[in-house]
Copies of this chain bind each other. A is one copy, B any other.
Amino acid sequence: MARVVVDVMLKPEILDPQGQAVQRALPRLGFKGIADVRQGKRFELEVDGPVDDAALARIHEMAETFLANTVIEDFFVKVEEEK
């Protein structure tokens, strides 16, 4: 069993209202020095068996077709740990 993480973030050129809302609230809560905040999604996938190239290719395809809307989002796949 291995854990693969897929991070899905809005593309840099896309406005991020959620991130902006967080950023505007921070000074009011006393947290200064944060120039920008972007909010996205994190998927933790527990994969049966070894994470070989074939499995990674499949996860890439899954992220591209299902986990991310690639018109407005970028995704990043990372193998986090092999248990």
Contacts and interface: CB of A to CB of B under 8 A. Distances in A.
Given A40-B42, A42-B9, A42-B42, A31 B1 contact: no
Interface of A: 1, 7-9, 19, 22, 25-26, 29, 31, 33-49, 55, 58, 61-62, 65-67
Nearest to A2: B35
B41 A40 contact: yes
Copies of this chain in its oligomeric complex: 2
Contact of A34 (B8, B42, B47): B47
Nearest to A23: B45
Contacts of A22: 43, 66-67
Given A34-B45, A39-B44, 10 more contacts: A9-B42, A22-B66, A25-B66, A33-B49, A33-B58, A34-B46, A34-B48, A35-B46, A40-B42, A40-B44
